Amino acid sequence: MFHLFKREDKKREQQEELLSAYLDDQLSAEEREDLEAQLADDPAMRIELDALRQTVAMVRDLPVASVPRNLILPQKTEARPQIAPAAPPHSGLPASLMAAATAIAGLLFVIVLARDLLFFTPSFSSFAPAVEAPQEMAISSPDSPELEAGEESIGTPAMSPETAPSSEESAPEERAATIPTTDEQEPANDALTTPGYPTASAPAFAAEEGKEGGAVLTPSPTSRDVGEAAPPPSAQVETEAAKPGVPEEGANASLAWRVLEIGLGLLYLGLALATVWVWRTRR
Amino acid sequence: MNEAKLIESAQHGQVNAFNELVLHYQDQVYNLAYRIMGDPASAADAAQDAFISAYQSIERFRGGSFKSYLMRIVANKCYDELRRRKRRPATSFEDFGDLDKEANPALIDESEGPEDRAERQAMVRLIQAGIETLPPDQRVTLVLREVQGLSYQEIAEAMDAALGTVKSRLARARGKLRDYLRQQGELLPRRYRLEDEE
């Protein structure tokens, strides 16, 4: 029903447009012939046309209104400034300054990106085994009563001169992956059992170096009982990693760098686009 | 009047030369504004603004019809003003009539007899009231066509619209005005009423 009304309205509009154009002689010869044929057959359409013609005549017949007062301009009327108009809205911001800002932003972005790639990527990979080795995760869970009970026994006795790790590397992950080579002994701790911070190398140690007799690294009750667990890769690593909150700090720092990267990237992009726009509008 | 020379002088900043053009065209400009705006005060303001704008941008005038140039400016002024007022209630028919008689005595033709004059004034007021019921775009198109006699092409240029749009707006404006006059037919003198019977 609604569509019918709509169709009727549309048809009426089209007819009105044709009649209006017909009055102004704006139809093509073909349209004119068609319309005149319709008018001959349709008395209602002829009435509409006559009413339209009469309306137009009445509007055209309106008297000319005379201006009630003179509209001459005062002598001091100023023409629009003739020289100044070319100044673009951004004229106060030189294009060279924009280009310099863009270059600086780009450089900072590259530096931040490079630093992140060099120093932060490994820390992410260190989280990967947490997924890959659920067994170790389960073992190192603080909820595990065996672990809590075993923590004390893990720390002190396990470090033998033979199993003492190298302390040269700075990145904990790298150090963790290094086979112990020095005799330096430091008190071991339960670093690798810290919740949520298992290292990528932990399973490897358990597998590869368990033969060497270290009982520290793998905190499973089995390994402790047997006394054949793999030795820790580095006591120092364990010390650093054992601090609660270090993983969160690392993650926070990494997130901050990511945010910084994105921010600088967006700034660089925005400045680059603005510079292009400034240069183009200056021409 | 050497229009080209006056325009050239005005382009060099001579207000007096431009004022000669104002005196020549002010009635036409005002009449257009009056038919669009519907009241003398607004029409005079729009016409005055249009002349100021025309003077300030006359250096960009590159020949052609100066009248069309003026009409385009005043039509746009009125159009902008109408759109600005869109939410305000329209002037009532009675108010318009008072203003018409008081402030626009030019609408009164002294050669007509009192009865004819009264009938004619009634017709003029009714048509003007009908024009004021139209949306701004249709109103300006109708007045440019019927009052100023511009061609479709000139209207399209003045309103910066496509030719098809002008045709459509004009047809709608005429149709709405016709319907309005039919509805208000009893207010019109018999000789001005739209006949529905052949």
Q: Do A65 and B40 touch (CB under 8 A)?
A: yes
pLDDT band (50, 70, 90) for residue A164 = very low
Phi/psi class of residue A171: alpha, beta or left (left: φ > 0; alpha: ψ in -120 to 50)? beta
**What are the distances in angstroms from CA A139 to CA A45, A190, A199, B145?**
93, 12, 13, 90
Contacts of B31 in chain A (CB under 8 A): 64-67
Taking CA–CA distances from A65, the nearest residue in chain B reads B31
**What are the distances in angstroms from CA A281 to CA A76, A82, A84, A274?**
34, 20, 16, 11
Q: Do B172 and A16 touch (CB under 8 A)?
A: yes
Q: Do A69 and B44 touch (CB under 8 A)?
A: yes
pLDDT at A214 over 80: no
Buried b (16+ CB within 10 A) or exposed e, A152-171: eebbeebbbeebbbbbebee
Taking CA–CA distances from A15, the nearest residue in chain B reads B171
A170 touches chain B (CB under 8 A): no
User: Looking at residue B193, what is its pLDDT?
Assistant: 66
Cβ neighbors of A77 (< 8 A, separation 6 or more) are: B15, B52, B55
Q: Do A67 and B47 touch (CB under 8 A)?
A: yes
Contacts of B35 in chain A (CB under 8 A): 62, 65
Least confident of A20-24, A114-118, A130-134: A130-134
Contacts of B195 in chain A (CB under 8 A): 50-51, 54
pLDDT band (50, 70, 90) for residue A39 = very high
User: Looking at residue B64, what is its pLDDT?
Assistant: 83
Per the CB < 8 A criterion, the answer to whether A138 and A144 are in contact is yes
- Residue with the larger pLDDT of the pair A9 and A34: A34
Continuous segment of H or E residues that includes residue A147:
helix A145-155
Q: Model confidence over B97-121: pLDDT tens digits?
A: 444 443 455 555 566 677 777 888 8
pLDDT at A194 over 60: no
- Residue with the larger pLDDT of the pair B66 and A189: B66
Task: Show which of residues 28-57 on chain A sit within 8 Å of chain B, judged by CB atoms.
Answer: 43, 46-47, 50-52, 54-56
Taking CA–CA distances from B55, the nearest residue in chain A reads A79
